[in-house]
Amino acid sequence: MKTSILITIAAFWLSSFTNDSVNKENIIYADSTYNPKENLQTVVVWFEDQYLEAGDSFLKKTETFHGRKRGEVRTEVMLALKTLSNTSFSKIKSNLNALESANQVSGIKQHWIINGFTCTVTTEGLKTIKTLEGVDKIFVKRTRSTSKRKDMGPEFIANKPASRFAVKTVASYPWNIEKIRAPEVWTEFGITGKGTLNIVHDSGFKLDVPALAETIYTNDGEIPGNGLDDDNNGFIDDYHGYNFDSGLANLNEPSIKRGTNIHGNMCAALISGTFETNTKQAVGIAPESQWAPIIGSSNIEQAVEWAIEQGADTYSMSFSQPNLGEFRTHWRKVLEQGTLCGVVFISGAGNFASGSKAAPVPVQMRNPEDIPNAVLGVAGVGEDGKRPVFSSQGPVEWNTDYYKEGTVNKPDFATFNANVPCIDPEGNLTNIANGNSFSSPHMAGIVSLMFSANPDLLPWEIKEILLKTAEDIGDKGFDYQSGNGFVNAYDAVKAVMEL
């Protein structure tokens, strides 16, 4: 009886939308992959008013912040984004509530990193959403499978161990740390990454490994493990990070054994790791920085918003998504506006130039590494300075409904991606890894050191310094294998110190 009353009330609401909230003449962009025969689909809706108004707005906007400090710009842009979002969303909130009561819409998530929202809709619900005030674009949301492993759960480092790292106690380091010239930065400049936060968007985390437990981020507004959202940000127990795909703080995989995939840990340790277990062998490029684990490619909006609000400096993404079609536009807008909030986004170039997963140019580099300007797409070389055959090459193409540059130069830079010494589940340097998954954290570690030297630098200023200091290792000038050249930490940080 109660259900029928609710539906009747909802039907009344649906039939009585006012002209203030409904525009029957809306001409909107709708993703061509939407299938009207599927009754339930998840979509992302954009409002017409966006902080970056058009496809060519990003670089123009960066010019307006010339001479400003990053913290000031972050605060200003966040406020502008949130104000825009609240203004647009408030105009149709009652309409969405009515649709929800009528079982035509569910799972509504308002976003501020773009002016819009995500929801799951029926065919009829989508027809109504298209008529709502301000609605401009609708994308079918591409989702990834969420881990349902029973042994995967939260783990909180209640008593975070003191860092064992001290420059004067370093006994050794693997070849990649030496060749990236990080130890020279530690000893000559006294820069070790202190004061920076690096997001590792990945999977395969074991949080109690000493090299990482010593530098893991703690959200002081949250009490770990009490099942409450203490800081009122919408996420329960997000003490170290969060799994935005499952909607839980379940990040830890305690049953991971030696020799199995521990991808997230390997990447995190290259950035913020201290010492190999029971040794004084340094494993990370920025060993006194902090890191936070994130899982969440299906909810990139929430993941990026969380990172910004925690004060992130770098955001490393060692994954690659093919065939996103027009949904690439949504990812690009999110990361462009995230960059304006002070975060340097970095992604490995991918491993699709050879083998069974080989793809042709211009789709060897995929999302997010194919995003120009706002994402540093990083390829790599081995210890011998040569490009492995698997390393994806550019250029890429941008011919979506919204972004129309055509051919775009990628990758941006190169670091190391072959035979890289990485920690195992016990924190020992026994994993020898290949892939551009590891070029991204090398770059994140370098950028962390740069921000540690000067936290006021804006993300696009970081990129300009990298362009000036990168070593040309391929064909003269830019090339589609190593981009603008190989980056080392010493020259990049030295340039920062000389500003």
What's 248's domain CATH number?
3.40.50.200
Question: DSSP label at 241?
Answer: -
For the chain, the first-to-last Cα distance in angstroms comes to: 71
Q: Are residues 174 and 111 in the same domain?
A: no
Measured CA to CA, the distance from residue 305 to residue 284 in angstroms comes to 26
Q: How confident is the model over 75-117, as pLDDT tens digits? A: 999 999 999 999 999 999 999 999 999 999 999 999 999 999 9
In a domain, 257, yes or no: yes
Q: Which two tokens stand for residue 432?
A: 């020898």
186-218 tens-digit pLDDT: 999 999 999 999 999 998 899 999 999 999 999
* Same domain assignment for residues 198 and 85: no
326 in any annotated domain: yes
Q: Is residue 224 part of a domain?
A: yes
Residue-wise burial string across 314-335, b where 16 or more C-beta atoms lie within 10 A, e elsewhere: bbbbbbbbeebebbbbbbbbbb
Strands (E), 391-438: 396-398, 406-408, 413-416, 420-422, 431-433
- Does some domain include residue 120? yes
3-class DSSP state of 495: helix
Which candidate in 85, 201, 202, 452 is catalytic?
A: 202
Residues in the chain: 499
pTM for the whole structure: 0.94
Residue whose entry in the numeric block shows the structure tokens 């029957």:
24
Do 206 and 291 reside in the same domain of the chain?
yes
User: Cα dihedral sign for 189, 190, 193, 196?
Assistant: negative
Q: Are residues 237 and 370 in the same domain?
A: yes
Contacts 24+ apart (CB under 8 A), 296-300: 296/201, 296/242, 296/243, 296/244, 296/245, 297/144, 297/201, 297/245, 297/321, 298/141, 298/142, 298/143, 298/144, 298/146, 298/244, 298/245, 299/109, 299/118, 299/244, 299/245, 300/331, 300/334
Distance CA 351, CA 160 (A): 36
34 within a domain of the structure (yes/no): yes
The catalytic position among 289, 437, 439, 452 is 437
Regarding whether 198 and 304 lie in a shared domain, the answer is yes
Residues 108 and 208 in one domain: no
- Distance of alpha carbon 7 from alpha carbon 172, whole angstroms: 69
Distance CA 267, CA 441 (A): 6
* Residues 426 and 369 placed together within one structural domain of the fold: yes
Q: Are residues 368 and 430 in the same domain?
A: yes
Assigned domain for 161 exists: no
> Are residues 410 and 454 both part of a single domain?
yes
Same domain, 395 and 249: yes
User: Where in the sequence is the domain holding 282, given as residue range(s)?
Assistant: 167-497
| 263: annotated active-site residue | yes
Catalytic residue among 111, 240, 263, 442: 263
Residues 184 and 292 in one domain: yes
Is the distance from CB of 85 to CB of 48 less than 8 angstroms? no
pLDDT attached to residue 405 = 97
Please indicate whether residue 202 is annotated as part of the active site.
yes
149 belongs to a structural domain? no
- The answer to whether residue 437 is catalytic is yes
Q: What residue type is 409 in one-letter code? A: N
* pLDDT on residue 151: 60
Tens of each residue's pLDDT in the chain, 499 residues: 434 433 443 444 444 444 445 554 457 888 888 887 788 999 999 999 999 999 999 999 999 999 999 999 999 999 999 999 999 999 999 999 999 999 999 999 999 999 999 999 999 999 999 999 999 999 999 876 555 555 666 789 988 999 999 999 999 999 999 999 999 999 999 999 999 999 999 988 999 999 999 999 999 999 999 999 999 999 999 999 999 998 999 888 766 654 556 899 999 999 999 999 999 999 999 999 999 999 998 999 999 999 999 999 999 999 999 999 999 999 999 999 999 999 999 999 999 999 999 999 999 999 999 999 999 999 999 999 999 999 999 999 999 999 999 999 999 999 999 999 999 989 999 999 999 999 999 999 999 999 999 999 999 999 999 999 999 999 999 999 999 999 999 999 999 999 9
The answer to whether residue 154 is domain-embedded is no
Q: What percent of the chain lies above the pLDDT cut of 90?
A: 84
Q: Judging by DSSP bridges, how do beta strands 135-140 and 431-433 pair with one another? A: unpaired
Q: What integer pLDDT is reported at residue 4 of this predicted model?
A: 41
Number of domains in the chain: 2
Q: Starting at the edge strand that comes first in sequence, how are the strands of the sheet with 344-348 ordered?
A: 242-243, 290-295, 197-201, 314-317, 344-348, 375-381, 413-416
User: Are 187 and 94 in the same domain?
Assistant: no
Q: HEC string of 8-60?
A: HHHHHHHHCCCCCCECCCCCCEECCCCCCCCCCEEEEEEECCCCCCCCCHHHH
